A and B are shown apart, each in its own frame.
Chain A
Amino acid sequence: MLEVTLDKSKLQEFLRLLGQNRRLFAPVKDRMGTIFSEVADPSLICLDGLNTNLSPKELVFPQWETLYTFKEDHLNETELKVQETVLFGARPCDARALELLDRVFTWEGIDDPYYLSRRAKTCVVALACNTPGEACFCSSVGGSPAGEVGADVLAFDLGDRLYLRVLTERGEALLKEASTITEETTEEDKQKAQQAAAEAEKQLHPISIPEDLATLRESFDAEIWEELGLKCLGCGTCAYVCPTCHCFDITDESRKGVGRRVRSWDTCAFSLFTLHGSGHNPRITQAARYRQRVLHKFLYCPENFGEAFCVGCGRCITNCPAGLDLRAVLERLVSSVKVS
């Protein structure tokens, strides 16, 4: 596959070329660090931050969308008009999360047209990490600061230039549009990128992840959930900043027979999550709801999709208002299960 180098002085021109025929989403500065935004002016882009405060999943799985509108018994399905989009500067963890979401929205042969229509038109240029963030643990959950999964192109920041490695045909087509300003990559650049990735990986603090699904199943009645449930405030922050959380709710909004059906993000942390119409709730305590969050990611997803649904981006840790740290919870699970 194609490999090119881009002098950073030409970055803006490069992005302008990529954005010619598509929407350009990239990190820009925000009061909370950086955030993905549709960028009309490439000079606003900021590649110095690590993870954006919110994940880019919004791009393919928006917080809410209208599935259809209705008037009495007449339905109008929402027309899915999706523009070609390039997601530039997503970190490898976020790119990998998209690949995990793909599995959910095509599960057991049932395709989700809303998600897939956006995903099919999203080209991901991931940016490898040179230094990990304060809560990063990608290498402990099967990722890497230079991971390629889910990306169409992987870029390495070499200081004054970017080394871009094409991973898919879609990525190759994208980079060809800017071929006038990219150069052939040297062996030296490739080696530098390799070194930077290895260096970043060394700086990560590995944690133990409970991988034995049988022992995780046994943890269902473990004591630790009780205290975690007391600490957990029951807000949706962790799930809403998470790049792999994908639970949604469906609500009808109507007045006098006219309305719409809306799909919106949901989270197991909310007390209304899985509350039945009868008033019964199978997860009546916050402890049961917090357990659901952890076991869904590390037990049920491996059972259903073959992999844990956590990419180690650390957003749930940096943003939790109660100071809960998923890494510590996982390590406690490993040790408490071992003891018993």
Chain B
Amino acid sequence: MNQVEETLRQEVAKLLEDGTIDVFVGHEAASLPLRTSPCFVRCPKEVNRLVWDRTCTSNLAAYLPQLFKRPVRLKGEWILPKVGVIAKGCDSRSIVGLIKEKQIPRDRLFIIGVGCEGMIDRHSVGRVLGVVGLADAKIDGNSVQVIGTDGREKRIDIADVLAASCRECEHRSAVISDLSLGDAPAPTQEVSRYANVAEFESKSPQERWEYLVAELSRCIRCYACRQACPNCYCEECFAEETAPQWLGVTTDLPDVFVFHLGRVFHQAGRCVDCGACVAACPQGIDLRLLNQKINKDVEELFEAQASLSLEEAEALSSFRMEDDQSFMTEP
């Protein structure tokens, strides 16, 4: 057990014992190697379920709004529960976004911030293994020893199987917290942000179209990307509205494109590039590219990144006279 994990368990036990929180949202080991599952700890005896390592991929912010949907009855009163959560840089930014968009109440949240050096991407590990499955794995410092279902062993550098978002992350520590378990060390190499967007933009329109078709034609409309995304909390998604019906139910390209482009635009100025959509996709689609393109545009136009603090207004929900207006045309 690592130091962060040990402290985390102690602190959560205290918070539950003294009534600061009613439930803690963290990560627990899942049954498959290199996987974790979100967990909901309600009593101090259960804190040993909590883990913290390089496989805590889920953006836990996505699990928070549901906890505030129904008040709980406590000492004869109906009140909202007090919820604790562990947050790495991306989770904390999503939490900031959800607080600002009034989906979760700040005063009922206890945020334990933690520094993160990047999470292992299961799809990348899968690609190293090829067509066989992952029978077992052990993390050892900066590398991971994997055993395939064919019995073959391999040692992989974690740096080689990091999630794409984590490679380009420059907010590794929580931007908001009530208790910090430490910040992440600064990256050893300079972070090259928007490298994938730059590459995409350098392509011809024909090549870009072909790339998007190749990626999105893999979509099976399972909506895992949407469900894993903290920003996708709409009670009714435009993709499922029937009056008007914005798109059909098929996996034909027009339907798939309308869904994914619609989702991308709804994320404009809000996406924190946590990579939850990419991690969730069972088809390994590059769902990050278009979101990053919009993130880059927002950053260039408004010098802003999404949800870095509770105080500052978000780029697309505020107006400044000096905002770029070049997109406006004469009537």
| A interface list, Cβ under 8 A from B | 29, 31-34, 46, 48-50, 53-54, 63-64, 131-135, 227, 230-231, 233-237, 240-241, 249, 251, 253, 262, 264-265, 270, 272, 286, 317-319, 321-325, 327-328
Contacts and interface: CB of A to CB of B under 8 A. Distances in A.
A325 B282 contact: no
A323 B36 contact: yes
B95 to A, nearest CB: 17
Contacts of A134: 32-33, 133-135, 149
A13 B227 CA distance: 46
A33 B284 CA distance: 10
A63, A132, A134, A231: which has the most chain B beta carbons within 10 Å?
A134
Interface of B: 30-33, 35-40, 58, 62-63, 66-67, 123, 126-127, 130-135, 149-151, 220-224, 226-228, 240, 245, 248-251, 279-280, 282-284
Contacts of A64: 249-251
A54 B284 CA distance: 12
Contacts of B283: 32, 53
For the complex of A and B, list the 5 residue pairs with the smallest distance between their C-beta atoms, beginning with the closest.
Answer: A323-B37, A323-B30, A321-B280, A49-B131, A235-B224
B220 A54 contact: yes
B149 A236 contact: no
Contacts of A34: 131
B245 A253 contact: yes
Contact of A33 (B62, B126, B150, B249): B126
B149 A264 contact: no
B31 A235 contact: no
Given A131-B149, A264-B249, A286-B66, 4 more contacts: A48-B131, A231-B37, A233-B280, A235-B224
Contact of B131 (A29, A236, A317, A322): A29
B224 to A, nearest CB: 4
A206 to B, nearest CB: 15
Nearest to A135: B32
Given A29-B131, A235-B228, A235-B280, A264 B222 contact: no
Contact of A318 (B131, B132, B133, B221): B133
A61 to B, nearest CB: 13
B207 to A, nearest CB: 19
Contact of A262 (B32, B151, B250, B282): B250
A231 B224 contact: no
Nearest to A32: B284
A237 B224 CA distance: 7
A83 to B, nearest CB: 20
